[in-house]
Structures are given as structure tokens and as C-alpha cells.
Amino acid sequence: MKKDKITIAELIQAIEGELISGEDKLDRTVENFGATDLLSDVLAMGKSNYALLTGLTNVQILRTAEITNACCVVIVRNKQPQPAAVSLAKRNGIPLILSRLTMFDACCRIGRLLENPDGRIEGSPNTAGT
């Protein structure tokens, strides 16, 4: 049976993420996902309670995520957010997550997590020897 949503904590584990802000929201449920490097695409997504995966590192991506009701922002490709973006995320309680994975690989990991009822991700330590 497939999952239709995951928690922010499960998302972080699946993408080998590092939480920068929003420690108090790890149990929040993520119901949708979006991946883009274009602010206009974020505005056009029409989703709510979604995880936004992006390579953008500036304040604008955090503000756009906030006005579109994203539940967290994941910065991929091992990029580092601008200090002002980190400050905004902390000040406004937006979970900000960093991942070394490419956007494609992060999306694949999330897809596998949603497909597998036991939450095992291929290539992660909990699948060694299977």
C-alpha cells in the first residue's frame, strides 16, 4: 500500500537532509511536492501544504514559499542558503532543509518513500544486504 503523505522528519531522512530551521515542525505532514528553480513555477503550482525542492538560495524563495503555503523548503545540490534567507526561515518558523542530492535524485528518493509502505529507500543503510 502506498503512502499519500509523509512527515518532514521522514522527508529529511529520505533525502539525507540537514535541518537548518523549523525544529518544532518535524512531525508536520507533507501532502504535496513541487520541484523547480523558477519562482514563477512556484506561484503557479496551486498546491498547499507542500514541500518545495529548489536550487534557489535567496530570500525570495522563502517568501514565495511562505505565501504559497509551502510547509518546508529543501535546497538541493549542496547549495548554501544566503544568510538573509536563513534568518527569514528562522524568524518565520519555516522548516529549511539542505540536501547534497540533485533535485532529480531527491525527487526519486521521495517517490520511493511514498511507494514503499515500510519506508525503505534503496541504497540507504536500512536496505543493506537485501
> Does the residue 128 lie in any domain?
no
All three cell numbers of 81: 542558503
> Does the residue 67 lie in any domain?
yes
The domain total for the chain is 1
Q: What is the mean pLDDT of residues 106-123?
A: 80
Helix (H), strand (E), coil (C) string for 24-59 = HHCCCEECEEEECCCHHHHHHCCCCCEEEEECCCCH
What pTM was estimated for this model as a whole?
Answer: 0.88
Distance between CA atoms of residues 6 and 13, nearest Å:
11
Residue-wise pLDDT tens digits, 1-12: 788 899 999 999
Residue-wise pLDDT tens digits, 76-105: 999 999 999 999 999 999 999 999 999 999
> Does the residue 125 lie in any domain?
no
Residue-wise pLDDT tens digits, 47-73: 889 999 999 999 999 999 999 999 999
Distance between CA atoms of residues 96 and 115, nearest Å:
24
> Does the residue 124 lie in any domain?
no
Kindly report the CATH number assigned to the domain that includes residue 32: 3.40.1390.20
Domain holding 12, by residue range, is 6-115
